[in-house]
Amino acid sequence: MPTEQMTNANKPLSTEGRTYHIETRSGEVSNRILTVGDPKRAQKMASYLDKILFTHSSHRGFLTITGLYKGLPISVVAIGMGLSMMDFFVRESRMVVEGPLSIVRFGSCGSICQATSGDVIVAKSAFAIGRNYAFFEEGKGEPYLLWKPVEADKDLTRVVQRKLSEAVGAEHVFAGSVGNADSFYGSQGRIGTDFYDCNEGLLDRIREKYEDASALEMESHMLFHLAQASTGAKNMGRPSIRTACALMVFADRTGNKFISPEDSERLVGIAARAVFDALVEDMPTQEGLHPAAGSV
């Protein structure tokens, strides 16, 4: 349960200025954010920061770790899974961070392209895949709705792809459009008999509709969509929220392979500095410096 009194039902902030679900306030979150799903992944990646300044685990399972990397502040935020959690994260981060915000998601995915387990797929764009309740409840339309891809920020994506290619080898880094599904199961075309999912032809339909469809996961489209929907002030002609996403292939949906725990741990370790380097190269100024960093 939250420990501080909330003050506004429309835009809940506590009396101490903390957001309702992530429980961070101004000064605790950097303008450069690496977001992941798994809190253990967040801790492992944050261990590559030069100095940790702030850590908070919220009552809703969000973990925020803010520190310094090459003299600049970076926050690592674990959000759990799914588009709702991404929505909480982007909106509540915007509430407490002034100025430009660069967010890189480093997640995991299922590959539906040539990339196999242990490779990395950089999302040039992301499209949404949604279960169509009208089909299941009223027999109307297709069982799954496919929305048009939304582009990632090109500059941030380019630097993320370059840094990851240097770190893991260009031959292990792929790029394409990523499907952001509202389920790990039905809307990602996983076939089962426990539920009426009507998804037998879904992967083929996705590949037919989007030639460069490369991966399936559950957060990137919401991240890219909210960045484009953000109404904040423009900075140097750029949107106020800029986003990129790189995904470790955990499940190879074509070759039916799964990454080992050892390989995923190793990949996360190698990728941490690459993503931090991308964030500081992309925003090299002291903008948004964490107050505590002044004394370092």
Secondary structure in 3-state letters for 159-205: HHHHHHHHHHCHHHEEEEEEEEECCCCHHHCCCCCCCCCCCCCHHHH
Give the interface segment with ligand R1P, choosing from 44-52, 96-104, 213-221, 267-275 (CB under 6 A): 213-221
- Count of chain residues binding ligand R1P (CB under 6 A): 11
Residues facing residue 106 across a β-bridge: 246
Asked if 217 interacts with ligand R1P (CB under 6 A), we say yes
Chain residue at closest Cβ approach to ligand R1P: 37
Return d(Cα 79, Cα 42) in angstroms, integer.
Answer: 9
Return d(Cα 282, Cα 275) in angstroms, integer.
Answer: 10
Asked if 107 interacts with ligand R1P (CB under 6 A), we say yes
Asked if 37 interacts with ligand R1P (CB under 6 A), we say yes
Interface pick for ligand R1P out of 64, 108, 117, 214 (rule CB under 6 A): 108
Asked if 241 interacts with ligand R1P (CB under 6 A), we say no
Asked if 182 interacts with ligand R1P (CB under 6 A), we say no
State in angstroms the smallest separation of the CB of 107 from ligand R1P.
Answer: 3
Q: Are 246 and 275 in contact (CB under 8 A)?
A: yes
Asked if 219 interacts with ligand R1P (CB under 6 A), we say yes
User: What tokens does 113 get?
Assistant: 């392209």
Measured torsion, CA atoms of residues 103, 106, 108, 109, in degrees rounded to the nearest 10: 50
User: If you search the block for the tokens 């430009």, which residue do you land on?
Assistant: 100
Asked if 36 interacts with ligand R1P (CB under 6 A), we say yes
- With a CB cutoff of 8 Å and minimum separation 6, the contacts of 205 are 144, 146
β-bridge pairing 213-217 and 173-181: parallel
Nearer to ligand R1P by Cβ, of 72 and 76: the residue is: 76
Handedness of CA 273, 279, 282, 283 (dihedral sign): negative
Q: Enumerate residues 66-95 that contact ligand R1P by CB under 6 A.
A: 81-82
State in angstroms the smallest separation of the CB of 85 from ligand R1P.
Answer: 8
Asked if 258 interacts with ligand R1P (CB under 6 A), we say no
Asked if 28 interacts with ligand R1P (CB under 6 A), we say no
Nearer to ligand R1P by Cβ, of 136 and 184: the residue is: 184
Nearer to ligand R1P by Cβ, of 197 and 219: the residue is: 219
* 40 Cα distance to chain centroid: 15
Residues facing residue 57 across a β-bridge: 63
Give the interface segment with ligand R1P, choosing from 31-39, 44-52, 117-125, 204-212 (CB under 6 A): 31-39
Give the interface segment with ligand R1P, choosing from 22-30, 130-138, 201-209, 214-222 (CB under 6 A): 214-222
User: What tokens does 269 get?
Assistant: 């370790």
Handedness of CA 222, 228, 232, 238 (dihedral sign): positive
User: If you search the block for the tokens 């982007």, which residue do you land on?
Assistant: 90
Binding site for ligand R1P (CB under 6 A): 36-38, 81-82, 107-108, 184, 217-219
